[in-house]
Chain A
Amino acid sequence: MRRQFFTNTIKILAVGVGTFSIFKLNDTPKSESKIELKKSFFLRPPGVVSEKHFLANCIRCAKCVKACPYNTLSLAKIGEFASLGTPKFSANEIPCYLCDDLPCIKACPTDALDKSIDKISLVNIGRAIVDESSCVAHFGIQCDACYRACPFIDKALKLEYKRNERTKKHAMLVPKVDYDYCVGCGLCEKVCITKKPAIVILPTSFILGERNDNYVKGWVSGDDERLKHIDTSKKHDEKKAINYLNDGEF
């Protein structure tokens, strides 16, 4: 009896130790920013419409990982924030180079990566944000590394002329992101010269709001077409004021 009890205890211990060793798993981090990246967010391959739709459809076959010619994508391991076995990447390691034919979307056997996205301008990975306190262009130093790296140069990333108020005579060229064009490929983050990138790609849901579509942009050609068939006649009731007095609310 006693001997069996001891052997059983040792067996349970062995299985228990094996199980809990999983929770202690963590790769040795390469840099501090990588820890934060692992813990808080991750970037999905191009073609992901929403995280919920992606998770419902992803079969975890890694075909997109193999299709990527730049080895950008990797599969989430145990202990990572992303759902186990799903493709993800971080822009400061290898960014997405936005291949024109989008091989990752073509390789996907399911609807997880949206097949209707056939142009790189429709891709929605994330959006770039600039940390003005660490971006050296905001110090007055001429650096346009991110601007030159951007695949949508002068559209997604523009250089804004600014007067240098400190010296009162120099101009500053600071990067400015246009969120209507930025797709979040991460090329700007990869090339950023600062110690920790001053321009970072965040998942869209982290930073972007959503405007109502009733606003008409007068400066976009054709947008005022929407006003053509609108009903502008006023519905005016002349007796409303009299009825209001006579209905006896006083």
Chain B
Amino acid sequence: MKILKNKYLILRRFIQLGLLALFILPSADFILKGNLSSSLLFNSISLSDPFAYLQIFLATFTLNVGLFISAFLVFIIYALFLGRAFCSFVCPVNLITNLADFIKQNTSFKSSKLTNFKQNTRYFILFSILILCLIANEPVFEKYSHIGIITRGIIFMQTSAIFVAIIIFLLDLFVQRNLVCSHLCPLGAFYSLISKFAMLKVSYDLNKCTKCMKCKMICPEAQVLSLITKYSGNVSNSECIKCARCIEVCDDDALNFNLINFLKGKK
């Protein structure tokens, strides 16, 4: 019963680890080759990180049609359908920060908070990176990206990536809750900007809610659940990472995934 309750969590871990396994295994190269920056699906469909493409475009001002199409494909998938699901379903850093959060929720580290970064710090970082790309003529974030370091570290067994993973873990555990993913990461900020009109939304039903606030406790981006206890509707804030933890912890079935269009048809 408990397994069924955590079905989204299991699905997420399965996708996260499965993707990494496909990248690692040479025998699975015909399915997926490359890494999260750019990969080749079934040896024919090229997929690229739209944020990396944007940086390269700003750095070089040349239009590479093949790269543009491959980045646009990913852009469309997230902008129209999945929203910020990249952060919760694909990004391997999510494994580390969730572990830190899990430890924090279950031990006495709960109250600790050394810094006071606001959620919109990441947007400042995002735009300063884009400006830096123009100045330095280099994809600046790709150069130092913690996501890139961790993914490459796992795929190519680079031991030095362990230290970066430890730093991310320590920052999340000791400095501020969800510091890396929901306060600093510019890639997450990019995805939340583009997924303003994504169709996959979490819907909330006020009538079923018993106001236990478990969802707000578990949510890594608690500001998106501002509608809890106020009114029924969809979580419209695009910063929601669609991790579905709120759906799983809710004992009242008040929260659910809903494609926004289906809901419109019902009404």
Q: Which A residues are within 8 Å of any B CB, using their own CB?
A: 7-8, 11-12, 14-15, 18-19, 21-22, 25, 27, 52-53, 55-63, 65-66, 74-75, 77-79, 83-85, 107, 109-111
Contact = CB atoms under 8 A, between A and B. Distances in A.
B218 interface: no
B174 A14 contact: yes
A126 B250 CA distance: 62
Contacts of A63: 33-34, 38-40
Contacts of A62: 34-35, 152, 155-156
Given A57-B56, A57-B60, A83-B143, 14 more contacts: A12-B114, A15-B174, A18-B166, A21-B166, A22-B160, A52-B137, A56-B59, A56-B137, A57-B59, A60-B37, A78-B158, A84-B148, A84-B149, A109-B66
B148 A85 contact: yes
Interface of B: 26, 29, 33-35, 37-40, 46, 48-49, 52-53, 56, 59-60, 62, 64, 66-67, 70, 112, 114, 137-139, 142-144, 148-149, 152, 155-156, 158-161, 163-164, 166-167, 170-171, 174-175
B138 A55 contact: yes
Contact of A59 (B56, B159, B171, B175): B56
A14 to B, nearest CB: 5
Nearest to A17: B170
B137 A110 contact: no
Nearest to A112: B56
Nearest to A11: B174
Given A15-B167, A85-B152, A109-B70, A59 B158 contact: no
Contacts of A7: 112
B175 A11 contact: yes
Contacts of A83: 143
Contacts of A79: 160
A139 B35 CA distance: 50
Q: Which 7 A-B pairs have the closest CB atoms?
A: A61-B38, A11-B174, A78-B160, A61-B37, A18-B167, A56-B59, A109-B38
Given A109-B70, A110-B56, A110-B64, A15 B37 contact: no
Contacts of A74: 156
Given A7-B112, A8-B114, A111-B62, A61 B39 contact: yes
Contacts of B160: 22, 25, 77-79
A22 B112 contact: no
A84 B143 contact: yes
B114 A59 contact: no
A78 B38 CA distance: 21
B202 to A, nearest CB: 32
Which among B26, B60, B67, B152 has the greatest number of chain A C-beta atoms within 10 A? B152
A75 B139 contact: no
B35 A61 contact: yes
Contacts of B149: 78, 84-85
17 contacts: A15-B171, A15-B174, A15-B175, A18-B166, A22-B160, A22-B163, A52-B137, A61-B39, A63-B33, A63-B40, A74-B156, A75-B158, A79-B160, A83-B143, A85-B149, A110-B64, A111-B67
